Amino acid sequence: MEMTVQLTIDCSDPQRMVAFWAPALGYVPEPAPEGHPTWRAYWEAMGVPADELPPGAGDLAESIVDPTGRGPRVWFQQVPEPKTVKNRWHFDLKVGGGREVPPAVRAERVRAAVERLVDAGVTVLRIRDEPDAGLFAAAMRDPEGNEFDVV
């Protein structure tokens, strides 16, 4: 039996999360299935009751996909409750190139990614600059407060 993996992230504003995470991960908003102008139109055609579709749900993409087909689909599921505690999962955006790359080059790559992400609306929690350990990384929060790292 074939299996695929989808990462589902609870959030209050799926479109905002798509707008942030698609470029952050190098993904693209997932287009609606062929023959349907929107995901909402697709869900309605499948018989999803109107009371299960909040206003605006599916009018724009609420999921992102890796255009290369390597990474998992990420669905941002709208939920009514806000985030209240630290998440127990997180993305690591590996932009430094690994230990084969000189530490100064890795640090510059991380700094550039952090600057781009801050411009996109995230918050830097802390920077770990530990040259003796060969580490330069940033802990950050996305637009809804979910933690992730840039390494």
What pLDDT is stored for residue 20 in this prediction? 95
What pLDDT is stored for residue 82 in this prediction? 81
Spatial separation of the C-alpha atoms in residues 144 and 53, rounded to whole Å: 21
pLDDT reading at 56 higher than 90: no
Q: Specify whether the CB–CB gap between 147 and 140 falls below 8 A.
A: yes
Spatial separation of the C-alpha atoms in residues 44 and 89, rounded to whole Å: 32
**pLDDT-based confidence at residue 19 (cuts at 50, 70, 90):** very high
Tens of pLDDT along 69-118? Answer: 999 999 998 888 888 887 778 889 999 998 889 999 999 999 999 999 99
- How far, rounded to the nearest angstrom, does the alpha carbon of residue 8 sit from its chain's CA centroid? 10
Using alpha carbons, list the distances in angstroms from residue 116 to 94, 122, 124, 151.
Answer: 14, 9, 12, 14
Q: What is the mean pLDDT of the chain?
A: 91
Statement: the pTM of the whole predicted model exceeds 0.85: no
